[in-house]
Amino acid sequence: MLREAIYHRPKNNWCYAYDRQTVHVRIRTKRGDAERVTLLHGDKYNWHEIGHETTEMRVFAQDALFDYWQAEVRPAFRRLKYGFRLQAGRETLWLNEQGFHEQEPENPYLYFEYPFLNPADVFEPPAWVKDAVFYQIFPERFANGDPSNDPEGVLPWGGEPTPANFFGGDLQGVIDHLDHLERLGVNAIYFNPLFEATTNHKYDTEDYRKVDSHFGTNEKLKELVDACHARGIRVLLDAVFNHSGRTFAPFVDVLKKGQTSKYADWFHVRQFPLTVKEGIPTFDTFAFTEMMPKLNTENPDVQAYLLEVARYWIEEIGVDGWRLDVANEVDHRFWRKFRDVVKTAKPDAYILGEIWHDSLPWLSGDQFDAVMNYPLTEAILDFAVKGTRDGRQFADQLGSLLAAYPQQATEAAFNLLGSHDTARLLTLAGNDKRRVRLASAIQFTMPGTPCVYYGDEIGLDGGNDPGCRKCMEWDESKQDLELFGFFAGLTRLRRSHRALRDGSLRLLAAEPGRATLAYIREADGERFIVALNAGRRQAKLSLQATGEWSDALKGEPFRAERGKISVALPAYGFAVLKQG
């Protein structure tokens, strides 16, 4: 076996508490290299007296280079001492903290340790998240329910979006269209920022305690949240705590008074007075954006201010969690305090970080419940929309992602195919709705919570910002109602079957050079096969299966013969088959 490929290190994604009783242990080997991996485990304080147990590990994920093995154990006294036995052919290796051994180490002391399963450290995302389907609303562009609060110079609904124009969307507009969301079947909304700010996107907060006057009032938001809750819809707000806007009163004070301002330490000023030299502000900002001064979240006053904001909207207005803008540029210490405040205010609040990259340092239970799962976005788009990744490459990328985080992080991941920060799915798909449906079918049959970006469900298109921030189309004659029906069907399907939400995921077919893929999702005795064809020609998949199956969306029956089921898929087609 290739020793250089074998990797294990306690905690993080390799050995973690999945719940208050269960520890997951993982190890990585070169793909196809080890035939059997056994976890040897026991209590460090009676290893010799009681003896240790063995648990067979199974490959739960694979990527281009590696097999990832997992075992679940429930240590009687919450202490776990463990090592690995790896076998291939006639070769047997033992791995402990000191490395590889060709004989079983006699001394358990040098085995690995998960020292104690303390409940306080267990990473427990809210249980409702894996059962949710999210809908993202960019409020200025969703619906104008109250023309009386329109900003000056508002343009007629449906015009071309620019970085600076306004169309009058507001909270009343959302309230007016909750039926649309309910018909679509979503049960959670993620709102782009709602607080007072100067821009149409509101990422330049002026007042964190006040709904933007063009959107409505705090009372209106409470009315909206209550109306949502009455329909079983949860509400997530956008917390822009990395930076404020340039009209945020403390920043205005620093602009005016410089070093003598009592808010001078609320920001990261490299040099007074605040100015911009050759395109670079003399103070830290988001990117190099002068209008977005970075907040000093290490300053206790700033912390107290922002944490009170976090508490206020949950306790007073009733929101169900926060999406954190530019989350990875804010210090971990602040986020830990934030989590304490948020979870005290509402124990099952959802904390969702905007991180586009590998996010392990935020996903250990002390900071976020999940991140916006852009790596999955990329993988799905590459396979189903752009055609730059074949079935095997897509499967490898999925495997990488499954192995990258604790399982509960995967189950609570926020899976999106587009947002206010990307081109829209339909546009990326070259307006080919088959590809939109294919990508969405994958999204809705993955672990993690899917999110529909407003309008995608009725065929809205648009390139990168500002194109992706068009006004929602409310004229039914201009909506793609068939597409809406498709999305509503997907939502219904996912919400009806736990197997599609947090069931196990196992690949059934993923071959290099082919644009097809199939995987099984399974829970509580229910089993689904998801079969995909991202190719531009029809494809026939012959998949290992037994018994009776039916297309879960179309009802058509399938019967396995001689241990195989045959699924014919049109170009960019897919099928979700349910056993029985």
Q: Shortest Cβ distance from residue 219 to its own copies (Å)?
A: 35
Q: Shortest Cβ distance from residue 294 to its own copies (Å)?
A: 8
The one-letter amino acid code at 205 reads T
User: Judged by CB under 8 A, which stretch of 105-113, 143-151, 172-180, 216-224 contacts its own copies?
Assistant: 105-113
DSSP string, 381-411: IIIIIS--S-HHHHHHHHHHHHHHS-HHHHH
Q: Shortest Cβ distance from residue 280 to its own copies (Å)?
A: 8
SS3 readout for 494-531? HHHCHHHHHCEEEEEECCCCCCEEEEEEEECCEEEEEE
Count the neighbouring beta carbons within 10 Å of the beta carbon of residue 27.
Answer: 24
Which residue of 205, 297, 407, 419 would you call a contact of its own copies, by CB under 8 A? 297
- Output 12 or 87, the one with its CB closest to its own copies: 12
User: Judged by CB under 8 A, which stretch of 314-322, 323-331, 425-433, 487-495 contacts its own copies?
Assistant: 323-331
Binders of its own copies in range 266-295 (CB under 8 A): 284, 287-288
- Output 108 or 447, the one with its CB closest to its own copies: 108
Which residue of 3, 536, 540, 564 would you call a contact of its own copies, by CB under 8 A? 3
Size, binding site for its own copies by CB under 8 A: 50
Count the neighbouring beta carbons within 10 Å of the beta carbon of residue 58.
Answer: 13
Binders of its own copies in range 353-412 (CB under 8 A): 355-358, 360-361, 366, 375
Under the criterion CB under 8 A, does residue 222 sit at the interface with its own copies?
no
- Output 90 or 357, the one with its CB closest to its own copies: 357
User: Judged by CB under 8 A, which stretch of 113-121, 463-471, 486-494, 542-550 contacts its own copies?
Assistant: 113-121
Q: Does the annotation count 207 as an active-site position?
A: no
User: Judged by CB under 8 A, which stretch of 190-198, 322-330, 477-485, 513-521 contacts its own copies?
Assistant: 322-330
CA 103 remoteness from chain centre: 43
Strand, helix or coil for residue 544? strand
Q: Shortest Cβ distance from residue 319 to its own copies (Å)?
A: 25
Please state, in angstroms and as integers, the Cα–Cα distance from residue 431 to each residue in 376, 435, 535, following that order: 21, 8, 16
Which residue of 7, 231, 273, 564 would you call a contact of its own copies, by CB under 8 A? 7
Q: Shortest Cβ distance from residue 314 to its own copies (Å)?
A: 21
Q: Residues 25, 14: contact at Cβ < 8 Å?
A: yes
Please state, in angstroms and as integers, the Cα–Cα distance from residue 534 to each residue in 173, 322, 389, following that order: 37, 35, 10
Please name the residue that has the structure tokens 């003598």: 260
- Output 351 or 490, the one with its CB closest to its own copies: 351
**Rounded CA separation 187/119 (Å):** 29
Q: Does the annotation count 358 as an active-site position?
A: no
Q: Shortest Cβ distance from residue 528 to its own copies (Å)?
A: 29
String of contacts with its own copies for each residue 14-53, x by CB under 8 A: ----------------x--------------xx-------
Please state, in angstroms and as integers, the Cα–Cα distance from residue 94 to each residue in 5, 86, 90, 158, following that order: 14, 6, 13, 65
**Rounded CA separation 54/37 (Å):** 10
Q: Shortest Cβ distance from residue 249 to its own copies (Å)?
A: 24
Binders of its own copies in range 61-90 (CB under 8 A): 64-66, 77-79
Count the neighbouring beta carbons within 10 Å of the beta carbon of residue 147.
Answer: 11
Which residue of 91, 104, 121, 226 would you call a contact of its own copies, by CB under 8 A? 121
Residue of 170, 196, 354, 390 marked catalytic: 354
What are residue 533's phi and psi, to 5 degrees? -130, 105
Q: Shortest Cβ distance from residue 48 to its own copies (Å)?
A: 13
Joined tokens for residue 393: 């490459």
**Rounded CA separation 537/427 (Å):** 21
Under the criterion CB under 8 A, does residue 99 sit at the interface with its own copies?
yes
- Output 226 or 340, the one with its CB closest to its own copies: 340
Angle at 414 between CA 511 and CA 434, to 5 degrees: 50
Please name the residue that has the structure tokens 């985080």: 405
Which residue of 53, 56, 91, 115 would you call a contact of its own copies, by CB under 8 A? 115
Under the criterion CB under 8 A, does residue 101 sit at the interface with its own copies?
no
CA 131 remoteness from chain centre: 13
SS3 readout for 93-151? EEEECCEEECCCCCCHHHCEEECCCCHHHCCCCCHHHHHCCEEEECHHHCCCCCHHHCC
Q: Shortest Cβ distance from residue 511 to its own copies (Å)?
A: 19
Q: Look up residue 424 and give its DSSP letter.
A: -
- Output 118 or 504, the one with its CB closest to its own copies: 118
- Output 17 or 490, the one with its CB closest to its own copies: 17
Active-site residues, by number, are 325, 354
Residue ranges in contact with its own copies by CB under 8 A: 2-5, 7, 9-12, 30, 45-46, 64-66, 77-79, 97, 99, 109, 112-113, 115-116, 118-121, 284, 287-288, 297-298, 328-334, 336, 355-358, 360-361, 366, 375
